[in-house]
Amino acid sequence: MVTLSLLFFLVALPATVGLVCGRGAYSLGHFPRRGVLRTGTPIVYRVRETSNCPSPDALRVYPSEHGESYDYLAYKYLRVEEVLPDGSIVALTPLREHQYLRRNDPNLRKANLIERLRYADRFPDPAYR
């Protein structure tokens, strides 16, 4: 019983008060639209690559047909620099290059909280110009 009341007072009550009284992004009446990308938003873009030596963080590594190289998936950690009026995105790479992406690309998604914390050094710094 003590654990249940402790859980209520430490988690449920502050969350409820924050939803009702808060004016932030998660207050009642103002839920953010899923998938909204703004300038500075960290994004993850999945690409299929071919190489003789895949990177250590490569996923689904398969040898090519004749075994001379490997096909694999890699994640690119980008940051939105600009959202164009037609909905396409100008993303900034860690090497300060621009990459133009379609908003409805199935390989494009917003970085989740774990990725933003774990791979923070891989996303380009928005303050650096």
Choose between 42 and 21: higher pLDDT: 42
Please name the amino acid found at residue 95. Answer: L
User: Could you write out the DSSP letters of every residue in 76-119?
Assistant: EEEEEEEE-TTS-EEEE-TTS-EEEE-TT-TTEEE--HHHHHHT
Kindly state the DSSP code that residue 11 receives in the 8-state scheme: I
Average pLDDT over residues 88-92: 92
Average pLDDT over residues 81-97: 90
The Cα 129–Cα 124 span in angstroms is: 10
* Whether 77 contacts 119, CB under 8 Å: yes
Average pLDDT over residues 54-58: 86
- 107-125: pLDDT as tens digits: 999 999 999 999 989 998 8
- Residue 102: pLDDT band with limits 50, 70, 90: very high
Kindly state the DSSP code that residue 69 receives in the 8-state scheme: S
Closest CA relative to residue 91, chosen from 116, 120, 124: 124
Instruction: Give the model's pLDDT for residue 107.
Output: 93
- Residue 66: pLDDT band with limits 50, 70, 90: confident
User: What are the extents of the domains in the chain?
Assistant: 1-32, 42-118
Average pLDDT over residues 77-101: 91
- Residue 3: pLDDT band with limits 50, 70, 90: confident
* Whether 50 contacts 70, CB under 8 Å: yes
Asked if pLDDT for residue 103 goes beyond 60, the answer is: yes
